Amino acid sequence: MKKAAVIIVGLVILGVLAIFSMTFTVSFNQVAVQSRFGKVDESSIIRTPGLHFRLPFFADSVHLFDTRLQILESPLENIQTADGQQIVVRGFLLWRVDKEGTGPLSFYQSFPDLAAARDALRTQFRDAMTSLSEYKFDELLGENSRLTHAEDSILKRMSASVSEGIDPVTVGVSRIAFKESTTSEVVRRMQARRDTLADSERARGSAEAERIRSHASGVAEKILAFAAQRAQEIRTEGEELGAHYLSEMGEDEQLAIFLLWIDALERSLSDNTTYVIDTAVAPWHLLESDGSPGVLPVVSGTEQDQ
């Protein structure tokens, strides 16, 4: 009884091993190359995800390759730009196994796995990064940057140099910096340039300020000249009117004196001011007038008749 149980268990294990050796699974993010007795052709490529069958044991060999994007980052590289600047750059490459056409078969024939492909790409990518030396520093950074064009150039160079079965997707430059030995010199040049620009702006500002002051001075002189001319016209007009009034007042001297006294009296009493003063002093003697028509009050006993 025990012997039969052992045989059954052995048959089950043998069946499981047979099934395991006769099937394989392809994930949605994989492509498989199935070789039969070491030979492959286009029909060996399997792209359909799911469970697949093969001949058991060593008759068929299946190689699975991940078709998702892979990233490869270059080390820091010293590069001299077209204008002689020493810079340090680092880039990255996004690539994947080419799953179109015979791409998987070409990859299988070129590399045993992704790690081997990554090692081969690393050397090629470092060589392609040297194409940045064809650009000036201002073309890599700044307002007129051609960095996108440089990245496209590196990608084209990679596409032309990599083995079949590899699909370079994207190239990017993640870092651009000066070498430590050149940083101080660059900073000095930048400082000198800023100083030059500052001096130029100060000179322009001084010239503009002088222009504004000159214009303002000219306008002020015109206004003052106009005001002086107008004041002279007003004075002339006043003198003419004054001469006319003086001429009229000269015809009746006593009336003129009386009017001046009235005006002085009105000005003195306009602010409700209280005065304690002798009424014998002009023009306060007018307060003692008895209201007789035609008779002017006298000052200090002097009679004045109109």
> Which of 69, 209, 93 is closest to 162 using CA atoms?
93
Q: How far apart are CA 171 and CA 268, in angstroms?
A: 99
123-136 residue pLDDT tens = 999 999 999 999 98
Q: Where are the alpha helices (DSSP H) in the chain?
A: 2-22, 103-110, 114-129, 137-140, 147-161, 180-250, 253-268
* CATH 3.40.50.1370 is right for the domain spanning 70-178: no
* pLDDT tier, 281 (very low <50, low <70, confident <90, very high otherwise): low
Phi, psi of 184 (to 5 degrees): -65, -35
Residue 86 near residue 78 (C-beta atoms within 8 A): yes
Domain boundaries, given as residue ranges, for the chain: 2-66, 70-178, 194-251, 253-305
* pLDDT tier, 273 (very low <50, low <70, confident <90, very high otherwise): low
Cα dihedral sign, 101-103-109-114: negative
128-179 residue pLDDT tens = 999 999 998 888 887 788 999 999 999 999 998 888 899 999 999 999 887 7
Give 71's strand partners.
Answer: 94
Residue 84 near residue 178 (C-beta atoms within 8 A): no
Residue 273 neighbours by CB distance under 10 Å: 7
* pLDDT tier, 121 (very low <50, low <70, confident <90, very high otherwise): very high
> Which of 158, 10, 222 is closest to 150 using CA atoms?
158
Cis peptide before 283 (omega within 30 of 0): yes
Give 52's strand partners.
Answer: 24
